[in-house]
Structure 1
Amino acid sequence: MIEKGALLPLFYLPPVEYFTQLNKFKPEIWLEQAEHFPKQTYRNRANIYSPDGVLTLVVPVVKGSKVHTPVKDVKISYDFKWQRLHWLSLEACYRRSAYFEYYEDDFAPFYEQKTSHLFDYNQKQLELLLRLLKIKSPLNYTESYEATYPGAVTDFRKAFSTKKEVTIEQKPYFQVFEERHGFLKNLSIIDLLFNQGPQALNYL
């Protein structure tokens, strides 16, 4: 049983707010691996800034990955070429950003190689993102599912919603298409990384 620190779900290219909290609570970071897979969350989707505004990228999962499937067991579907679609979207949205080319080779393998399980895919991406952001923290994993935790544990499992309007305070930084739609808050961390590069950690 976790006694202190922050409990976080594992997301696909998590939003900026996720890393703000992770950076704040390190090194006491716990990742939930025993929960049942909730649909329509950041666990398999990320928001990026496209010429038309917010674009949501969704990693499709194998049908049958419903509410009662443990998150560790959810498999990625390759019925259509979503990896190619995501990579083309990232290129279209961020090729003009200051640091896309700087990080391009780090992210490309995620859109070329196939990983069977969503949890493993997200885990590898998170390890890469922490390295690129220069956030040094061990990652601990839950052994079993607990509905509630003691007060010393900050539980973020339901804190980040794809459906709620973003209310967090966030200082604007340069975004590629901001002259069209203004500053968009709490997009995927890659929006911050591709636009701010090594300054991303200072921003967090």
Structure 2
Amino acid sequence: MKVLIHPTYFPSISHWVVIAHHQGKLVIEAKDNYQKQTYRNRTYIYSPNAKQLLTVPIVHTKTTGRQKYNQVTIEESFDWKKQHWKSIETAYRTSPYFEFYEDELEPFFKKEHQCLFQMNLESMEIIAQCMQLEPFTYELTDEFLLNHQDKLDKRSLVNAKTKQEYSFDSYVQVFDDKHGFIPNLSILDLLFNEGPNSLNYLLNVDLNQIP
């Protein structure tokens, strides 16, 4: 069965568990309305001070009615990407695989993007390439439907307010001696710490854990 998800900014590990288990059967929701306080424009990394939020600033429109997610533009009046990359470097410079993936990821943070939806798709494509999850293929929805009878609907993973507890197997994190293991961060955390084993880690997670 195909699976339906929202594209998010360097998605969480739970997002990638779903993606890894449905290679070649991925459908991206492309016709929904934008909603605030979701992972559409945010992700969490493991910083020296524990969990750190990285937020993509967007341009807020003054028009009435809801704005389509695929029409949301990114605020580029200040260099927030430079700030994000600096935070990522601070968090993961000493991780086992940061230098291994640095050259593939850094250009993303120096590139100009206008559309949040497209930028998020690009972040996912880069991660898939790093994990050698190839070919990374997906379909885009052509209309918004509340219910999909023919797809496994995992769009709820985009909700940042949902406090879901995950019993993922622990792996060594840079600052776990200070703050312990923090599960379900951005896929960047897994990638920098587990490197080529990241895809195997995702495939070994029981899909039933993901609501």
Coarse TM-score class (shorter-chain normalised) = over 0.9
Q: Measure, in 2, the Cα distance between the counterparts of 1:91 and 1:18.
A: 23
State whether residues 61 and 77 of structure 1, in contact with CA within 8 Å, keep that contact through their aligned partners in structure 2: yes
SS at 1:34 equivalent: coil
Greater share of residues in helix: 2
**Aligned position for 2:184:** 186
Q: Distance in 1 between matches of 2:195 and 2:82?
A: 24
Offset from partner CA, 1:35-58 (integer Å, 9 cap, x none): 011111111100000111100000
Q: Which residue of 1 aligns with 2:54?
A: 57
Q: After superposition, where does 1:1-204 map in structure 2 within 5 Å? A: 4-64=1-61, 68-136=66-134, 137-150=136-149, 152-204=150-202
1:65/1:146 Cα in 2 relative to 1: closer, same or farther (>3 Å)?
farther
Partner of 2:205: none
Deviation of 1:65 (Å): 8.2
Structure 1, unaligned runs of 5 or more: none
> Aligned to 1:40, what secondary structure does the other structure show?
coil
CA contact (8 A) 1:37 1:65 kept: no
What is the TM-score when the length of structure 2 is the normalising length?
Answer: 0.90
**What is the deviation of 1:143?**
0.7
Normalised TM-score (structure 1): 0.93
Cα 1:24/1:96, change in 2 over 3 Å: same
Where in structure 2 are there 5+ consecutive unaligned residues?
203-211
Secondary structure in 1 matching 2:45: strand
CA RMSD, 1 decimal: 1.5
Q: Relative to 1, partners in 2 of residues 1:124 and 1:76: Cα closer, same or farther, differing over 3 Å?
A: same
Q: Retained in 1: the 8 A contact 2:41–2:55?
A: yes
Shift of 1:119: 1.1
Tell me by how many angstroms 1:81 deviates: 1.8
Question: How far off its partner does 1:31 sit?
Answer: 0.3
Letter in 2 for 1:179: D
Is 1:8–1:156's contact at 8 Å kept on the other side of the alignment? yes
State how many pairs are aligned.
200
Of the structure 1 ranges 159-168 and 193-202, higher mean CA displacement relative to structure 2 is found in 159-168
Mapped to 2, the partners of 1:141 and 1:155 lie a distance apart of 14
Residue deviations 1:108-130, cap 9 Å, x none?
11211111111111111111111
* 46-55 or 121-130: bigger deviation: 121-130
Per-residue deviation, 1:159: 3.0
State percent identity of aligned pairs.
34
Q: Distance in 1 between matches of 2:182 and 2:46?
A: 8
- Rounded Cα–Cα distance in structure 2 between residues aligned with 1:123 and 1:159: 16
Rounded to whole Å, the distance in 2 between the matches of 1:146 and 1:78 is 32
